[in-house]
Structure 1
């Protein structure tokens, strides 16, 4: 009965004249054993590698989930082993790419040194944890979103991402401990947000004391927020101490506003003179019926209004309304350049 065929390669060629005697054990069996040991990856352990490997000798370590190596033939033999990456074991060496070469995952056609192709924008691209963490402390999504978290049981809770063309945004709080220099536009939607709007054209009301929305001075407010606001109003009246000016705001359901203002006294304005001024105010107002009134003359007249808007559970617009204090056909004009600013404080 022939031997069990354990070898994978065997070559033997005797002389063609029949004069050579062939010894099976020595000339065939032992030669095939030597070839079998030399061909392919020889089993070894991390502590029992071959002590005298030839250059190109390949081994697999059975005690390290089959890490694979080959000998580069240098001396000493123990330092000649070069690790070959494979998907069975954890790679245990430094993998170096030549300059200009690329590590590509998923068939990406990007020319970047590390190029990854993911299926969805929210797929995880890169994650970092500390020993003992159960969640990522730093995570990059495939769409470029940067996420940070505590690494404990909670997921990441802070982010930075592209929300639109030329716009970088965070959905969370941002604290700057050093100087912040901005050469483009800086938009803040949470606490600290300041909004601004200016009248771009004159607007005139004649013969009407019915409050109406201003064409320009309106700003949006979010639910459950608190804002402070300032208005600089520039006005003219065709005739001194006739139509004058009154103003208020409309706000979303559940919101209230406090306001006070400094401007010309409506009953002290006489032709050709400067008016006495006064401070007047309204607290916890939710009705457009609570308004401030100022005198207005034919020369440019100014008033400044300050206040606080406390939002309820409904978002919406904070809208300036105004009209004449006394109906007059000569008309009261709110001038272009009047401005309204609103800053979120809570």
Structure 2
């Protein structure tokens, strides 16, 4: 009886005690054939894989663009083949990466994070054939529809997941971002161009005594950009310290090349006396004003506050700068005129 065959290649082994004559056919010829078949990867087809491979046996398939496999030694043999990725064939199995492991393609590295996410050291880019091609989409669980979809032209669509997406965000023209749907803003919305609204509050009382010379208000000033058009509105609350003589006058300064129109509604300067609760009113308009030379005057009572509402339009030239409220007493009086905290100024860009 010969000795047991080798465990992996089943090479024939003659009796180790020398009692068995060496047979070329089985001891040499057949063993050499088995060694030849075991050397490197064995060529086969997907239907002619080895029927009894040893554990570690490598093969490649000539009919599947040279997919390569090795046997893990399990039974049945048909289920023992584990695919090895290579650059010739299309890999048909799953490639598992442990947490922290990376897949490198040239200088690009894709790393699996501990939470299951992927991190890349470079950007993701798809060279789509059409603007309507989907670049990225996202679903949650067993969603029937993707909740987020980004198209090659940059358009983004959103939906609830159980029906098709129903809101969007996209580029509608040069420097313009648009949506066809409602937009809710939970916090602040800042606009720098047309539609920008600016607001400034007077945070402390300010008093002018014995002076009709216009001076800059300490608080009510707003910036304007070149070549823009704004509308403005002010609510002003004034009080005279002891009598109703000084009253109030106001104007603005604006940048070189700018003009402003303004009109106001408030108490008449001569008809409103101390402790008055009613008076004739002033409705005064000033057009194409370029400096503080044109003023509006309003009566101021004591001790109750008197209010005036001022509206206007600012047309900017090529120089940016500030629209600055200026004010003083309409008639010099030792009893000071106070512009109260709570007065405010708003300006909206319309062009």
TM class, shorter-length? 0.5 to 0.7
Q: Please say which of residues 262-271 and 171-180 is displaced more in the overlay.
A: 171-180
Pairwise CA RMSD: 4.3
CA distance in 1 between partners of 2:117 and 2:275 (Å): 77
1:17-75 deviation digits (Å, cap 9, x = unpaired) = 34341527623431122212xx54x556xxx4343455776555678876545578799
- Show the counterpart of 1:285: 289
Shift in alpha-carbon separation, 1:333–1:110, aligned structure 2, 3 A: farther
- Residues 1:49 and 2:56 are matched in the alignment: no
- Show the counterpart of 1:131: 129
Count how many residue pairs are aligned between Structure 1 and Structure 2: 300
- Show the counterpart of 2:338: 333
1:104–1:114 Cα contact (<8 Å) kept: no
Structure with greater Cα Rg: 2
- 1:204 is displaced (CA, Å) by 0.6
CA distance in 2 between partners of 1:311 and 1:138 (Å): 45
Equivalent residues in 2 for 1:228-247 (5 A)?
A: 228-247=231-250
**Structure 1 length normalisation: TM-score?**
0.68
Equivalent residues in 2 for 1:153-192 (5 A)?
A: 173=177, 175=179, 177-178=181-182, 180=184, 182=186, 184-192=187-195
- Show the counterpart of 1:21: 22
CA distance in 2 between partners of 1:89 and 1:220 (Å): 66
1:116-155 deviation digits (Å, cap 9, x = unpaired) = 253xxxx52x34564345999679xxxxxxxx8863xxxx
* Structure 1, unaligned runs of 5 or more: 1-8, 140-147, 159-169
2:46–2:64 Cα contact (<8 Å) kept: no
Shift in alpha-carbon separation, 1:21–1:239, aligned structure 2, 3 A: same
* Structure 2, unaligned runs of 5 or more: 1-8, 104-108, 138-149, 157-170
CA distance in 2 between partners of 1:198 and 1:264 (Å): 22
Task: Give SS of 1:290's match.
Answer: coil
- Show the counterpart of 1:30: 33
**Structure 2 length normalisation: TM-score?**
0.67
